[in-house]
Chain A
Amino acid sequence: MELKYGYGLVPDLSAHGAGIDHLIKVLHVFMVVLFVGWGVFLLYCLIKYRRRPGHKASYESNKSKLPKYAEIAVVGFEVFLLVGLSFPVWSKYKRDFPADKDALVVRVIGQQFVWNIHYPGEDGKFGRTDPKLASGSNPLGIDDKDPASWDDVVSVNQFHIPVNKPIISHISAMDVIHSFGVPVLRLKQDATPGMEVPIWFQAVKTGVFDIVCSQLCGVGHSLMKGVVTVESAEDYQKWFAEQPKQFKPKAAEKAPAPAAEKKQEG
């Protein structure tokens, strides 16, 4: 599906995004009402109380209680914004994680200037990683001695996910701070080295759109674009099956253990 971009919010393909968009819209209506009401009052004062012959300023202040009520109303509305509109969306986004078994769990690791997506494969377990093993062909330092790594897939900048399935992404980085931003999925999470932060989401429609690095990460920051492909479960399975299993020992079928040393040269 081709997405349309222009003025206004980008399309929303996420399950949780409606609450965010609703809040943004309510806020802007509120802001426009306040600003216009207030601006009209300002212009009225400027015209009515301009200096002119025969007009004198009054020493007394405005005694009306209206400003006080207006302020209380503003405070009341802010409480509503907080409790009614922001807290619920945020705590669902941050807290109500699905069980790992019901979701696709991946790791997303920012690196100058690409996004690495680490899929655990059928066993659902990520291979052990060690920064000392990192190399050009294995930037994440995945240990191919760990059998859990043999069915792992590392995809660079291509983030394929099945539609309508909860996705849990553990966000981190290996060098500097990046931020995993996907406007179309209403996602943003800083990718900070030394930390792994889980986020979860669900795409409700298929489509192809961008991951935008949302934290200045160096010279190539503005080119650090990844691609999310939301597809049907079948298409996703097909894509996943085509991905090379680079950590699988060459002779794994026959003798799983000894082939491990090979990968260490980089």
Chain B
Amino acid sequence: MHQPVHAAHHEAAHAEHHELGFIQKYIFSVDHKVIGVQYTVTALLFLFFGFCLMMLMRWQLAYPGEPLPVIGNWLGEGMPGGVMLPEFYNSLGAMHGTIMVFLGVVPLAVGGFGNYLVPLQVGAPDMAFPKLNAASYWVYFVGGVIMLASFFVPGGAANSGWTSYPPLSVVATAGQTWWLIGMVALITSSLLGSINIIVTIVQLRAKGLSFFRLPFLVWAQFVTSFLLLLAFPPLEAAGILQLMDRVAGTSFFMPTGLVVSGNALPVAGGGSPLLWQHLFWFLAHPEVYVLILPAIGIVTEVIVNNTRKPLYGYKTIVYAVLFLGFMSFIVWAHHMFMTGMGVTMSNFFQVTTMIISIPSVVVLTVLILTLWGASIRFTLPMHFALAFLPMFAIGGLTGLPLGLTASDIYLHDTYYVIGHFHYVVAPGTLFALFAGIYYWYPKVTGKQMSRFWGKTHFWLSFLAINGVFFPMLIQGIAGLNRRLYDPTFYAHGAAIQDLNVIISISAWCLGAAQLIFILNFFLSLKWGKKVGDNPWEATTLEWATPTPPPHGNFLTEPVVYRGPYEYSVPGEEKDFLPQHVAPAKA
């Protein structure tokens, strides 16, 4: 609609930001969009790698003790003759969790989407601190390299679970030291990133863009960044304390009188293994919301855009996530009900856990009521966003029996837990992230991803991922413990071993389905259909930029006149009214 203006401003933009060399432009860039893309691509690679670790474990779980054909012979020490060793299995488990959470989902959701979209959606030319932003990516990158390198140290990568409970983690092989150093890097990166997002949202909003006119995604990123900023430092401190326990002979987490393999352990003692658990979960519970809030933000944007009507209860959902963010700091000990917690404490944490379910229900209600009276376009991103709703619902509901101590006695540490949190994070968050990728890909690249292959990817993934995680809930009900190298060792596990075969086959199918996505992602760069500036006919500011947005983003400083979701406004000619379009003079 303002094409002529574009051309003129293109020139101006070029003059202002003189052409940079390849390295400065694409490698050590300080442009939030390039950094966002760097985060996205790196995190996607880590997600796929972390998933591959799991696909290996699934062989052992489906066919315990049998040699893995072909691939098994390539993996050297961990799988002599193709048969997986328990220590290798434990490494794979610990690193799968670590990589998916800290190197995959968080960097993609916050580093990728947050970096790319927040400045665009608030109408800013860049992040508040561009160099800090680049530093955050590179510290993350270093953390990732350390984690990968740890696979090659003697004894292999960390093998004490992603939770790294001492004393086991303190007496574990060298991989754990690398894990701790890697974690310190990753946490540092997240802290740098989160402070940047907060300052950008507070300081760099465009003229007219009040807090209650922010797109909901920005709110979600805002709350997420506060969670990262407040919850990560305790874990960073704890990580350094554990590192000291390992390398400097301290006993922060080591109690007196430890006897390992028949020998008294030469440590001072006096520490507490439970202290680590408190520090760890004080981060790791808010972390769950760090994983889910950006996903809710993305899903909200996609759903509202494709319903062509305003969000039902904008303020309700904003207050719900603010409350969610606050509550997430006082539920952590529900991960520790079986440590020997007294009745008063556990009752407190049961109550807070039930309370935190309420804003989650509110969020789902708001999204589903937005569909009421809509004109729903079943676009490719909308498929993933809609699938998110029931998947997140299953994830949330299955949290109930784990949040109540009585039922948790039986279900704690079983596959029910694995099924529960994967429903939240995998078909939940990851589907939301896929929705986001399909939705903003045209803005980032100027090309549309293939609809046909996207839908194929969706349906195969949707079926396979439920084939992976739903049977886990059944396994959990049947009492099967998690983290077992050989699930058939117990009679009650052997009785339901068929489920493990079903899960593994589903997991491998899920892996194959992702190849479609990978090909679509890269081939669309070249072969994808060209799109204009606002292909989804959306209202928020990122669509007011040229496609792809140049360095500096906006051609003219945007001014915001209205809320983020003015769709199907009565009396308007089009069914969308962008935030930056000046109202017609009355």
Chain A residues, CB < 8 A from B411: 24
5 pairs, A vs B, C-beta closer than 8 Å? A23-B407, A24-B477, A62-B372, A188-B410, A219-B90
- B120-157, CB < 8 A from A: none
Pick the contact of B340 from A39, A192, A215, A220 — CB < 8 Å? A192
Interchain CB contact under 8 A, A39 and B373? no
Closest to B88 in A: A219
- Asked if A86 meets B90 with Cβ closer than 8 Å, knowing A6-B495, A46-B371, the reply is no
Interchain CB contact under 8 A, A75 and B368? no
B343 at the interface (CB under 8 A from A): yes
Chain B residues, CB < 8 A from A35: 390, 393-394, 397
Pick the contact of B365 from A10, A71, A217, A219 — CB < 8 Å? A71
Pick the contact of A20 from B260, B410, B568 — CB < 8 Å? B410
Per-residue 0/1 for A46-61: is the Cβ within 8 Å of any B Cβ (1 yes, 0 no)?
Answer: 1001110001111111
Interchain CB contact under 8 A, B390 and A42? yes
A111 CA / B354 CA spacing, docked (Å): 36
Interchain CB contact under 8 A, A27 and B492? no
Pick the contact of A71 from B361, B474, B479, B484 — CB < 8 Å? B361
Known contacts A38-B368, A112-B260, A217-B168; 4 additional CB pairs below 8 A are A24-B411, A78-B400, A93-B409, A214-B413
Interchain CB contact under 8 A, A176 and B171? yes
Interchain CB contact under 8 A, B407 and A24? yes
Closest to B400 in A: A27
Chain A residues, CB < 8 A from B358: 71, 74-75
- Asked if A49 meets B376 with Cβ closer than 8 Å, knowing A112-B260, A183-B479, A225-B489, the reply is yes
A214 CA / B489 CA spacing, docked (Å): 14
B455 at the interface (CB under 8 A from A): no
A85 CA / B403 CA spacing, docked (Å): 13
Pick the contact of B371 from A42, A177, A183 — CB < 8 Å? A42
Chain A residues, CB < 8 A from B256: 194
B485 at the interface (CB under 8 A from A): yes
- Asked if A49 meets B372 with Cβ closer than 8 Å, knowing A62-B312, A177-B165, A216-B483, the reply is yes
Interchain CB contact under 8 A, A174 and B409? no
Instruction: Write the residues of chain A forming the contact surface with B, with a CB cutoff of 8 angstroms.
Output: 3, 5-10, 19-21, 23-24, 27-28, 30-31, 34-35, 38-39, 41-42, 45-46, 49-51, 55-62, 67, 70-71, 74-75, 78-79, 81-82, 85-87, 89-91, 93-95, 111-112, 131-132, 134-136, 139, 141, 171, 174-177, 179, 181, 183, 186-190, 192-195, 197, 209-210, 212-223, 225, 266
Interchain CB contact under 8 A, A210 and B350? no
B73 at the interface (CB under 8 A from A): no
Interchain CB contact under 8 A, A5 and B495? yes
Interchain CB contact under 8 A, B390 and A39? yes
Interchain CB contact under 8 A, B168 and A82? no
Chain A residues, CB < 8 A from B87: 219
Of B13-21, B208-216, B222-230, B303-311, the one with at least 4 CB within 8 A of chain A: B303-311
Per-residue 0/1 for B398-412: is the Cβ within 8 Å of any A Cβ (1 yes, 0 no)?
Answer: 101100111101111
Chain A residues, CB < 8 A from B365: 67, 70-71
Interchain CB contact under 8 A, B264 and A225? no
Interchain CB contact under 8 A, B376 and A46? yes
Pick the contact of B575 from A50, A57, A131, A221 — CB < 8 Å? A57
Interchain CB contact under 8 A, A222 and B346? no
Interchain CB contact under 8 A, A57 and B308? yes
Chain B residues, CB < 8 A from A171: 340
- Asked if A49 meets B354 with Cβ closer than 8 Å, knowing A24-B410, A61-B312, the reply is no
Q: How many interface residues does chain B have, given as a range?
A: 35 or more
Closest to A223 in B: B489
Interchain CB contact under 8 A, B406 and A93? yes
A130 to chain B, nearest CB (A): 8
Chain A residues, CB < 8 A from B181: none
Per-residue 0/1 for B260-279: is the Cβ within 8 Å of any A Cβ (1 yes, 0 no)?
Answer: 11111100010011100000
A94 CA / B257 CA spacing, docked (Å): 27
Chain A residues, CB < 8 A from B373: 49, 57-58, 60-62
Interchain CB contact under 8 A, A31 and B339? no
Interchain CB contact under 8 A, A27 and B401? yes
Closest to A39 in B: B390
Interchain CB contact under 8 A, B309 and A58? yes
Max chain B CB contacts within 10 Å: which of A6, A49, A186? Answer: A49
Chain A residues, CB < 8 A from B307: 49, 57
B375 at the interface (CB under 8 A from A): yes
B272 to chain A, nearest CB (A): 7
Interchain CB contact under 8 A, A188 and B338? yes
B258 at the interface (CB under 8 A from A): yes
Q: Which 9 A-B pairs have the closest CB atoms?
A: A194-B255, A197-B340, A57-B375, A89-B406, A176-B168, A183-B479, A45-B371, A5-B495, A58-B373
Chain A residues, CB < 8 A from B255: 193-195
B389 at the interface (CB under 8 A from A): yes
Per-residue 0/1 for B325-339: is the Cβ within 8 Å of any A Cβ (1 yes, 0 no)?
Answer: 000000000000011
Interchain CB contact under 8 A, A112 and B404? no
A136 CA / B259 CA spacing, docked (Å): 11
B127 to chain A, nearest CB (A): 34
